[in-house]
Structure 1
Amino acid sequence: MLIALLLTAAGQSILVGIVQYYGFASLRWLQPITASIIPALAWMAFLEASLRARLQIRDWVHFSVPAIVALCVFLLPAIIDVVLCSLFVGYGAAILVMLHRQGGDFAHMPLTAGHIPALVWRFIAFALIASAISDMLIIVAKIDGNDQIVGLILSITSSLALLTIGFLSLSPDIAIDVDADVQSGEQNQPSDHVRTTPSTPEHRTIMAQLEDLQIREQLYLDPDLTLAHISRRMGVPLKQISTAINATTGENVSRFINKYRIEHACRELDKGETVTTTMLTSGFNTKSNFNREFLRITGKTPSQWQQEAQHP
C-alpha cells in the first residue's frame, strides 16, 4: 500500500503538470478523482503498517471514495473542492489521532526504527492536511481572479509533493516487516492508550514473561523483530503487551526492546569489539538508529563508551 501511495502521488503530480502547463485541459475532470485516491491509500498504508498484517474486507470500503468523488464531478461539481478538502483533512487527522493513541507502537515495523516510523507517518498526515490548505488557497485565488497566484501555488505544492515522495521512498525506517504467521484481527492490534496507566498484577505477569523470553531466547538480537512477532512467541495479544510495557515502564515497545540491545552492545564494546560489529550483533541494522539509541540510553556515543572502556 505504501508503494501504491507513492506511485499515485507521483502520478497525480504528473497529471496536474500536464493539465496546468501543457494544455491538456480536457483531462481536468480527472484530477479530483485521482486526487481522492491519495488520502484513502495513505490510510490503508497506515493500517497495514500499524494495525494488521492483512487488510480486512471492511478496510476496502475506503476505495469507494473515488467513485463518490466521480459522481460529484458529474452531478454536483460545485461541491468538489469542499469534498476533496474534507477528505484530505479528515484522513490526515485520523492518522494523527491513531498515532497519538498508539504511542508510536507499530505492529509490523522493525523495533530498531524507534520513533522514526511515527515521525514519518506524522509527516504524511501533515502533508495531507497541507494539501487541503493549498486547495483552499487556490479556491480563494480563483474567486479573486488571481490566476497567476494559482499557478504559483500549484508549482510550490507540486514541488513539495515530489520532495515528499522522494523522502518517503528513501526512508528505510517505514519498511513493513509482515510476519506471515501473525493472525489479523482485534486481538492483534496495538494498544489504543498512549498515556501511562496504573500497573496491575496482570501487567506484571506479562512483563515477567516478556523479560524471561528476552533473556532466554535473546529475541532482541533480531534486527527484524516486531511487536507482532513478540506477541506470537508469547501467545499474548500484542495490545496487552504494549499496554503492560507502557503501564510498567512508561515507554513504548521499541524503547523497551532497545534497552536490551544497548545493554548487549555495551558488553560487546567492553570486550573490545568494533562499533560496527557491535551494532550488527546487537540487533541494529543502521548506524544512525544505533547511535541515537545508544546516546539516549547511556548518555554517551558508542565511540566514547569504547574509549572509556579501553582507558578507565
Structure 2
Amino acid sequence: MPFVPLPFVVALLLFILLWVVARREDEAAPNLPLLGLILLAALQSILTGLRWGYGIREVGYIAPVSAAIMPSLLYAGVSRLVRTSHRRWPALLMLHAAPAAIVMLLVIVRRDAVDMALVAIDFIYAAAILWLLRSGADGLRLAPFDGAVPAYRAIIAAALALCLSALVDMLVSFELASGHGDRAATIIGIANLFILVIVGVAAAAASQSHVPGTLADPIDQLSPPDDGEDADTIARVNELMQEKKLYRDANLNLNRLARRAGIPARQISAAINRATTRNVSQYVNEHRIAEACRLLGETGQSVTEIMFAAGFQTKSNFNREFRRVTGTTPLAWREKNARAPSLASPLSS
C-alpha cells in the first residue's frame, strides 16, 4: 500500500476549503490575498509531504520561498479590510515581494541563514498585522458589521500562529544544528498543523471579507474628543439606524456608515466606544437584534427570514449576537415573548 503523508491530507482539506470559500456567491469583490494564502498553504503542505514523506530533497529550494510569501499574503488580506485607499499598491507590492526575494537569494548563497530569515519575516509580519488592528474590531473598516468581530478574532489568531510557526522554525534549526535531525520531521509535521491553523483562521476572515470594487476616501481627520460632538455623532448614527433602517444593509461597514453619516470613520468609532463601551459592529448588531426581536414577536416569519431581514448574512453570527444581546436563542425568545402585550427592545436594557 502506498504511503500517504499527513501533509497531503492537509493539502486536500485546504483545497476543499479554498473551493468552498471561493465559490461564495457575493456581489462584492473577493479578498484575493487571503484566497491566495489558502492556495499557497496547500501547495506548501504538498512540498512538506514530498520532502519528509518521500525524501525528495529538491523541494527544499522551493519551500522556503513559498513560506516567505505566506505572511505577506496574510498582511495584504488584512490590509484590504483596513485601508480605504490602494493608490500606492505598486510600491507596496515591491516592498512585500522583498522577503521572498531575500530568501530566494539566501537559498542560493547562504542556506544556513534561511531559517533565521524566515523566523524574522514571521515575527515582523505578525507585529505589523497586530499594529494594523490596534484599534480593535473597528479597525476592519471594510468588513461588514455582521462578521467584523469574528474576522478580527480570526486575524489575531493568525498573527499569533505566525509567531508560533516562527518558534517552531527556531526549534527545527536548533535540532538540526545539534545533530538530532531525526526529530526534525516530527517537529515539521507539527509546524504543518500551525500552517493549517493560519489558513483556517485566514479563511474565516476571507469568508467575511467583502471588499467594494471601488473605494471612496472619506474624510478621516479625527477632531479632539468632545462630549457635545460625541452626542451629535451618536444622534446622527441613531437617525440612520432608526429612521433610515441602515442596519438592514447586510454589507454595511464602518467606511460605508461614515460616508452615509458624513462623519469621519474614526470619529464614529471613538464616540461609540466612549459612550457605550462597545465597538461599532456590536452597536449596529444590537439594532439588528432589536429588529429581529420585533419580527419574532409580531410576525410568523421563520428565523431564517428574520435573520436576513434584520441585516445578518450567516446563521452563526446571528445566533451569537442574539445570545450576546438577549441571553437566549431566537426560538426561545419567540416562545417567551410572542404573546406578550408589549415587547421591550433589548437595546433598552
TM-score, normalising length from structure 1?
0.88
Q: 1:69 aligns with which of 103, 107, 114?
A: 103
Q: 2:68 aligns with which of 22, 30, 36?
A: 36
Q: 2:216 aligns with which of 183, 191, 195?
A: 183
Residue of structure 2 in register with 1:194 after alignment: none
SS in 2 for 1:254: helix
| Structure 1 residues 195-248: Cα deviation after superposition (integer angstroms, max 9, x where no partner) | xx9653222222221111222221101112111211222232222222222122
Identity %: 32
Residue of structure 2 in register with 1:112 after alignment: 146
CA positional deviation for 1:259: 1.2
Gaps of 5+ in 1: 192-196
The alpha-carbon distance between structure 1 residues 154 and 96, as it changes in their structure 2 partners (threshold 3 A), is same
The alpha-carbon distance between structure 1 residues 145 and 101, as it changes in their structure 2 partners (threshold 3 A), is same
Point out the more displaced range, 73-82 or 38-47. Answer: 73-82
CA positional deviation for 1:70: 2.0
User: Matched residue pairs, number?
Assistant: 304
Residue of structure 2 in register with 1:237 after alignment: 264
Point out the more displaced range, 258-267 or 243-252. Answer: 243-252
Contact 1:89 1:132 in 2 (8 A): yes
CA positional deviation for 1:112: 0.9
Whole-angstrom distance in 2 between the partners of 1:79 and 1:47: 29
Asked whether 1:308 is paired with 2:336, we answer yes
Point out the more displaced range, 93-102 or 38-47. Answer: 93-102
The alpha-carbon distance between structure 1 residues 298 and 114, as it changes in their structure 2 partners (threshold 3 A), is farther
| Structure 1 residues 140-177: Cα deviation after superposition (integer angstroms, max 9, x where no partner) | 111221122101011222244236535644x3774321
CA positional deviation for 1:78: 3.1
CA positional deviation for 1:126: 1.5
What's the RMSD between the two structures over aligned residues? Answer: 2.4
Q: How does 1:98-109 map to 2 (within 5 A)?
A: 98-109=132-143
CA positional deviation for 1:117: 0.5
| Structure 1 residues 5-55: Cα deviation after superposition (integer angstroms, max 9, x where no partner) | 111121122122212332321231222222111111111111012223636
Whole-angstrom distance in 1 between the partners of 2:162 and 2:314: 29
Point out the more displaced range, 63-72 or 52-61. Answer: 52-61
Contact 1:44 1:59 in 2 (8 A): no
Contact 2:172 2:184 in 1 (8 A): yes
Q: How does 1:58-97 map to 2 (within 5 A)?
A: 58-60=91-93, 61-97=95-131
Asked whether 1:19 is paired with 2:51, we answer yes
| Structure 1 residues 91-117: Cα deviation after superposition (integer angstroms, max 9, x where no partner) | 112222332333444111111114200
Contact 2:150 2:205 in 1 (8 A): no
Contact 2:106 2:114 in 1 (8 A): yes
Point out the more displaced range, 48-57 or 83-92. Answer: 48-57
Q: Which portions of structure 1, spanning 4 or more consecutive aligned residues, are displaced by more than 4 angstroms?
A: none
Q: 1:54 aligns with which of 74, 83, 86?
A: 86
What is the identity, as a one-letter code, of the residue corresponding to 1:119?
R
